[in-house]
Amino acid sequence: MNIRYFISLLPMLFLAFIMNAQEAITFDMKLSKEKLGINERLRVEFTMNKDGDDFNPPDFTGFRVLMGPSQAIRSSWVNGVRSYTKTYSYTLAPTARGTFNIKQASIVIDGKTYKSLARKVEVTAAVEKPNDQMTVDDFADDNLHLVAEVSKTDPYLNEEISVVYKLYVSPSIRVSNYRPLDNPKYNNFWSQDIPVQRLNAENGTYKGKAYRYVILKRIILYPQKSGELDIEPLSLDVTVDVPTNKRDFFGGRIYTQTNKTVSAGKRTINVNVLPTAGKPANFGGAVGEFDFTVSTTKTSLNASESLQAIVEVNGKGNLKLFQLPKPEFPGSLEVYDPEHNENVRTTMAGMRGKVSDSYTIVPSFKGKYPMPSIAFSYFNPKTEKYNTINSGEILINVIEGPSNTSITSGGTKSNSKQAVVTTGNQFNFLKLKPNLTAIKTNYFFGSRSFYLWWLTPLFLIPIAIVFRKKREAIADDVAGNKIKRANKLARKYLSEAKKTLGKKDAFYVALEKALHNYLKAKLKIETSEFSKDKIATLLNAKKVDEATRDGFVGLLKNCEMARYSPFSDVQMQQDYDRASEVISYLDKQL
């Protein structure tokens, strides 16, 4: 009986042993190296698995404290078990050669004092290539990271992927300002920027260490080409406040400021080709998950009335990147060009919504007109299969109206011909005796019209003189002509930008589009895939003067900087006036 009781307690004893083992408190000291040159740097970390109080570091005899202590905390839950790590870090510089003993550090956890083990460090002569010269810039590099997180690196052609740019900042430093240096160009992608409304700092981890991060930019991409495609890096100029070992009068830590350039790095996406196996003949490039319907606003009507036939696709996928199938209508119906409608919302999950084509139909004769079934095919990247949806046949019944003898009751043309019967009197309407009378031979000469036409040139001479002087005055007004030409070009290309003055994001998007449209129209090229450097090279090849070229490229830079920096209404008005002037000068030189 006692043996059975003991066996039944074994699981509970084992569980208690595991829990006690998990709750064991550790406090360790870690060194970046145990042997270093006198011109190198030593990093010392004190790590514990439970938070404590009254941390007391050693005196670091033989070393000078460059930075520290900096704290890093990492906490996570895995399968219901909490993992916690807290680290105090120091960066030290040796003051002399020899062997030094880094003594114990202590901390109080749950009322008990824990001490780390002492460690010995050997300091040798200076080395030629020190690998741990920890400067302010080095410290900022180690604690500041810009990362581009890609949702999927091996999508199918036209399958959506998201890119989120996060700036990770260690608790040891502070970021006071940043500005973009170079925005990536998403060549061979259809892209949609998802604006970040507010910059909210959140807790996270980067390479196993605790960080705070903020999301700077979000974008949705649809690859338009298969194979390896590169996403260019995003680069930022960041102003960083780095702590020093100095204290102010009140005991607060003194920070030093430095500027660092961080880059998200180039990311390569391997785009898969859509499979050829099972590919329908009517496949038009739709990728996603969709529903397909064909409907009419009415199926019974009178002749000369109108109805709408609506071809609609709704769901999730590349809704803006394919054409809807075209229905076939009976030839005896009058069908107008379709009106395309889009109700699509782009989020971090991709495009969602519906697109449709609405055809206006007007029958002229009564009868029954069948509208055949049409098919819509799409590729589902989740199932990796093609799907085809067929609409049902729709019968349009025209109840009242004139009859068309060439149309049968089924709505098709009849090939039967009717014989033409003559009566012998079909030409009786022709007059064989018109009773014509002669007119005067000199009816025009001597008439009022004759003298009017003769005197008209005399009246036109002074009008022509006044008109000529007016043209010469306009031609001599060089400044006025420049203003008129600039206003004309501004109205043509900058009308959308002018409508959005005061709305920063919309204004600069419209302004950038206008600048690209001008080059596209003037040089017959596609500039949306050109970088600013390529555009500057192109203008230089066209022998555009340096001031005009720099002004054009500067406007493009302002359009990019406006996405991340505040711009006032005055700056927007200045950029609009500058764009009008630059386009005028550029048009004259091109």
pLDDT at 338: 92
> Beta strand pairing status for 161-169 and 144-150?
antiparallel
Identify the CA nearest to 497 among candidates 516, 471, 470: 516
pLDDT at 409: 44
What does the block give as tokens for 338? 């379709």
Identify the CA nearest to 290 among candidates 189, 394, 388: 388
For helices 478-493 and 504-523, give the axis angle rounded to 10 degrees.
110
Residue given tokens 């001599």 in the structure block: 476
pLDDT at 21 exceeding the cut of 50: no
pLDDT at 325: 93
Residues with Cβ within 8 Å of residue 229, at least 6 apart in sequence: 187, 188, 189, 223, 268, 269, 271
Which segment of 111-120, 287-296, 397-406, 525-534 scores lowest on mean pLDDT?
Answer: 525-534
pLDDT band at 256 (very low <50, low <70, confident <90, very high): confident
Side-chain half-sphere exposure of 547, counting CA atoms within 13 A:
6
Q: Regarding predicted confidence, which is higher, 462 or 147? A: 147
Which segment of 33-42, 257-266, 363-372, 552-561 scores lowest on mean pLDDT?
Answer: 552-561
Q: Regarding predicted confidence, which is higher, 146 or 431? A: 146
Give φ, ψ of 549 to 5 degrees.
-65, -45
pLDDT at 411: 45
Range list for CATH 2.60.40.10 in the chain: 21-133
The domain defined by 288-398 folds into Immunoglobulin-like (2.60.40)
Identify the CA nearest to 270 among candidates 322, 317, 231: 231
Residues 540 and 523: their CA atoms lie apart, in Å, by 13
Q: Under a CB-based contact definition with an 8 Å cutoff, are residues 166 and 215 in contact?
A: yes
pLDDT at 252: 74
Please compute the mean of the pLDDT values over residues 325-342 and round it to a whole number: 89
pLDDT at 296: 93
pLDDT at 471: 79
Task: Provide the β-strand partners of residue 215.
Answer: 166
Q: How many residues does the structure list for the chain?
A: 590
pLDDT at 418 exceeding the cut of 60: no
Q: Under a CB-based contact definition with an 8 Å cutoff, are residues 258 and 290 in contact?
A: no
What does the block give as tokens for 375? 């098919």
Q: Under a CB-based contact definition with an 8 Å cutoff, are residues 200 and 214 in contact?
A: yes
Identify the CA nearest to 410 among candidates 356, 332, 349: 332
Q: What percent of the chain has pLDDT over 90?
A: 25
pLDDT at 343 exceeding the cut of 90: yes
Residues with Cβ within 8 Å of residue 167, at least 6 apart in sequence: 144, 145, 146, 147, 175, 178, 213, 214, 216, 236, 238, 262
Give φ, ψ of 467 to 5 degrees.
-65, -40
Identify the CA nearest to 160 among candidates 379, 291, 349: 349
Residues 267 and 164: their CA atoms lie apart, in Å, by 12
pLDDT at 317: 95
pLDDT band at 422 (very low <50, low <70, confident <90, very high): very low
pLDDT at 70: 80
pLDDT tens across 480-526, in order?
A: 555 555 456 556 667 777 777 777 778 878 878 877 777 777 776 66
Burial bucket for residue 28 (CB in 10 Å: 0-12, 13-18, 19+): middle
pLDDT band at 412 (very low <50, low <70, confident <90, very high): very low
pLDDT band at 417 (very low <50, low <70, confident <90, very high): very low
Task: Provide the β-strand partners of residue 81.
Answer: 78
Identify the CA nearest to 127 among candidates 29, 225, 35: 35
Residues 246 and 542: their CA atoms lie apart, in Å, by 58
pLDDT at 22 exceeding the cut of 60: no
Contacts by 485-489 with C-beta closer than 8 Å and gap 24+? 485/584, 485/587, 485/588, 486/580, 486/581, 486/583, 486/584, 487/580, 489/518, 489/580, 489/583, 489/584, 489/587
Residues 331 and 116: their CA atoms lie apart, in Å, by 92
For helices 569-589 and 504-523, give the axis angle rounded to 10 degrees.
0
Task: Provide the β-strand partners of residue 210.
Answer: 205
SS (H, E, C) 352-398: EEEEEEEEEEEECCCEEEEECCCEEEEEECCCCEEEEEECCCEEEEE
Residues with Cβ within 8 Å of residue 303, at least 6 apart in sequence: 363, 364, 365, 366, 398, 400, 401, 402
Residues 372 and 330: their CA atoms lie apart, in Å, by 9
Residues 417 and 31: their CA atoms lie apart, in Å, by 104
Please compute the mean of the pLDDT values over residues 79-95 and round it to a whole number: 80
State the CATH class of domain 21-133: mainly beta
pLDDT at 259: 84
Q: Regarding predicted confidence, which is higher, 75 or 514? A: 514
pLDDT band at 244 (very low <50, low <70, confident <90, very high): confident
pLDDT band at 158 (very low <50, low <70, confident <90, very high): very high
pLDDT band at 260 (very low <50, low <70, confident <90, very high): confident
pLDDT band at 54 (very low <50, low <70, confident <90, very high): confident
pLDDT tens across 271-313, in order?
A: 999 999 999 999 999 999 999 999 999 989 988 889 999 999 9
